[in-house]
Amino acid sequence: MDTPTLIDVANKGINSRLTERRLRRGTQSLASLRNELSVVEEQVQHFSEEVHDLEIRALVSETPLADAESREAMRHMQAMTKHRDYLREAIADLELRQDDLLDKLGH
């Protein structure tokens, strides 16, 4: 049975502190990402409603301007949807990293 040396004990303490620091930063990042996701989800909902209204207006008026407004709103909604999906993925990835750090800290 190996007896841990003083260096082993010191390294374990340093690694634990680094892991704890990473966990704190990760927690702050998660909170920030979740706040941003909440805002973006509201914007996606807003743009979705706007697209629907503008599509109906474009169909009724049959003017190039109304059609252009509808397409522009659709582009905005697609961009926000893409950003929302990115944020969801970033949150999921960060949660996995946090879980790994917690596992490392527990061992």
Are the C-beta atoms of residues 40 and 84 closer than 8 Å to each other? yes
> What's the pTM value of the predicted model, to 2 decimals?
0.77
Residue 81, number of CB atoms within 10 A of its CB: 16
Residue 75: its pLDDT value, please?
A: 96
State which fold the 6-106 domain adopts.
Helix Hairpins (1.10.287)
pLDDT score recorded for residue 15: 76
Q: What is the pLDDT of residues 37-94, one digit of tens each?
A: 999 999 999 999 999 999 999 888 889 898 999 999 999 999 999 999 999 999 999 9
Alpha-carbon distance 27 to 20, whole Å? Answer: 10
Report domain extents, the chain: 6-106
